[in-house]
C-alpha cells in the first residue's frame, strides 16, 4: 500500500514570512511556518514533517514535490554530503544543515519515493499543499495564528495500491483534453483535474549539486497579497470542457502563472 502526499513551501519576499505544508486530502494535512525563512527551508520542512507524521505507519510513501533542490538533496546528494562531513564537493558547508540532518534521521528505514511535479499549473495535490503553505506564510506576515491542520488521520482512507495512488495524484486523467476526464471533488468545490504527461519531467541529473542551492531563493509567484485589493473575497466556480480546461492550463503555464493568477489578470 502507498500513501500519496504533496509537500510544498512558500516564502513571501524569500527570505521573509514563510510556510510549509503537506497534503493528502482535505481531512489529512498539516501546515506551519516562521516569521523569517527561505522557500527552500519551507520545502524541506514540509518533507520533514510529512515523514514525521507517518513514522508510525508501515506503508510506502510517495512524496509529490515541485522542488528539485529538495528531491536531489534527499535522494542524490545527501549520502555524499554525509561522507564529507556535511560539506559539498567544493568543501563549503551544506546549507540548511539542521533540516537536512533531521530529514536524514526521519527517512532511516523508511520505504519512500519522490516524484517531481510541475508547480503552479493546477496539479490538485500540489496546489492544495501550496495553498496551505502560502496561507501559513501570510498568517505569519500579518501576525495571526496559522491553521495547523488535522494532521495524519483516518489511515484506512489514505492508503491504496500504487496504481490507484498515481491515478489519484493526477486526478485520474490519462491525457490532457480527454473528453472522458473525471472531475476532482474537494471539500469546497468541484473542478477539472489536470493530467501531467511524463514528457514534461526532466532528469534530475540535469542540475548539479551547486545549481540546486544557487536557486534556493525561488520567488513565490503569488507574492504577498498578490493582485488582491483586500476586503471580502468571492469564490467563483466555472464549469469547463476538458478542451477548454486544457487551453487554460496551457496559457497560464506559458505566462509562468498559476491558473488563479492568470484568470485574475484578465479582470484587473
Full set of structural domains in the chain with CATH? 2-267 (3.30.420.10)
In the set 8, 138, 191, 220, the catalytic residue is 8
- Residue 40: how many CB atoms within 10 A of its CB? 26
- Residue 33: how many CB atoms within 10 A of its CB? 29
Nearest in space to 27 (alpha carbons), one of 5, 52, 9: 5
Task: Quote the percentage of the chain above a pLDDT of 70.
Answer: 58
In the set 43, 127, 191, 220, the catalytic residue is 43
In the set 25, 66, 191, 220, the catalytic residue is 66
Q: Which helix (H) or strand (E) holds 154?
A: none
Question: CA 249 to CA 257: how far, in whole Å?
Answer: 10
Grid coordinates belonging to 255: 505566462
In the set 130, 131, 191, 209, the catalytic residue is 130
How far, rounded to the nearest angstrom, does the alpha carbon of residue 251 sit from its chain's CA centroid?
21
Q: Known catalytic residue: 98?
A: no
Under 8 Å between Cβ of 193 and 182: yes
Question: CA 81 to CA 62: how far, in whole Å?
Answer: 24
Confidence of residue 9 (pLDDT cuts 50, 70, 90): very high
Under 8 Å between Cβ of 11 and 42: yes
Q: Known catalytic residue: 120?
A: yes
Mean pLDDT of the chain: 75
62 torsion bin: left (phi>0), alpha (psi -120 to 50), beta (else): beta
Can you tell me whether residue 98 is helix, strand or coil? Answer: helix
Most confidently predicted of 110-124, 186-200, 225-239: 110-124
Confidence of residue 223 (pLDDT cuts 50, 70, 90): very low
Under 8 Å between Cβ of 137 and 33: yes
Residue 158 CA neighbour count, 13 Å, CB half: 24
Tell me the per-residue pLDDT of 44-62, one tens digit each, with 9 for 90 and over: 999 999 999 999 999 999 9
Q: Known catalytic residue: 130?
A: yes
Its pTM stands at: 0.63
Under 8 Å between Cβ of 86 and 93: yes
Nearest in space to 192 (alpha carbons), one of 124, 264, 142, 247: 124
Which of the residue ranges 61-65, 87-91, 145-149, 206-210 would you say has the lowest mean pLDDT?
206-210
Average pLDDT over residues 24-50: 97
Q: 236: buried, middle or exposed (CB in 10 Å: 19+, 13-18, 0-12)?
A: exposed
In the set 16, 120, 123, 191, the catalytic residue is 120
Q: Known catalytic residue: 9?
A: yes
Q: CA 69, 148, 56, 100: dihedral to nearest 10 degrees?
A: 30
Amino acid at each position: 500500500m502507498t500513501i500519496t502526499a504533496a509537500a510544498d513551501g512558500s516564502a513571501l519576499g524569500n527570505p521573509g514570512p514563510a510556510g510549509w505544508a503537506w497534503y493528502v486530502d482535505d481531512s489529512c494535512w498539516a501546515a506551519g511556518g516562521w516569521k523569517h525563512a527561505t522557500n527552500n527551508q519551507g520545502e524541506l520542512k514540509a518533507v520533514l514533517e510529512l515523514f514525521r507524521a507517518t513514522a508510525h505507519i508501515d506503508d510506502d510513501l510517495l512524496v509529490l514535490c515541485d522542488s528539485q533542490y529538495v528531491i536531489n538533496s534527499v535522494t542524490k546528494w545527501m549520502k555524499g554530503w554525509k561522507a564529507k562531513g556535511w560539506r559539498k564537493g567544493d568543501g563549503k558547508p551544506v546549507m540548511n544543515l539542521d533540516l537536512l540532518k533531521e530529514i536524514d534521521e526521519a527517512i532511516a528505514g523508511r520505504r519512500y519515493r519522490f516524484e517531481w511535479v510541475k508547480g503552479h499549473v493546477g496539479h490538485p495535490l500540489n496546489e492544495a499543499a501550496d495553498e496551505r503553505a502560502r496561507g501559513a506564510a501570510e498568517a505569519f506576515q500579518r501576525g495571526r495564528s496559522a491553521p495547523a491542520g488535522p494532521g495524519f488521520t483516518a489511515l484506512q482512507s489514505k492508503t491504496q495500491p500504487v496504481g490507484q495512488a498515481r491515478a489519484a495524484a493526477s486526478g485520474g486523467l490519462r491525457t490532457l483534453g480527454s473528453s472522458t476526464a473525471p472531475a476532482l471533488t474537494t471539500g469546497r468545490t468541484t473542478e477539472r483535474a489536470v493530467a501531467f504527461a511524463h514528457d514534461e519531467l526532466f532528469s534530475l541529473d540535469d542540475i548539479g549539486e551547486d545549481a540546486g542551492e544557487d536557486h534556493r531563493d525561488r520567488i513565490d509567484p503569488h507574492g504577498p497579497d498578490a493582485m488582491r485589493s483586500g476586503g471580502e473575497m468571492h469564490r467563483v466556480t466555472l464549469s469547463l470542457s476538458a478542451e477548454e480546461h486544457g487551453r487554460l492550463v496551457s496559457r497560464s503555464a506559458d505566462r509562468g502563472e498559476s491558473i488563479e493568477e492568470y484568470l485574475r489578470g484578465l479582470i484587473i
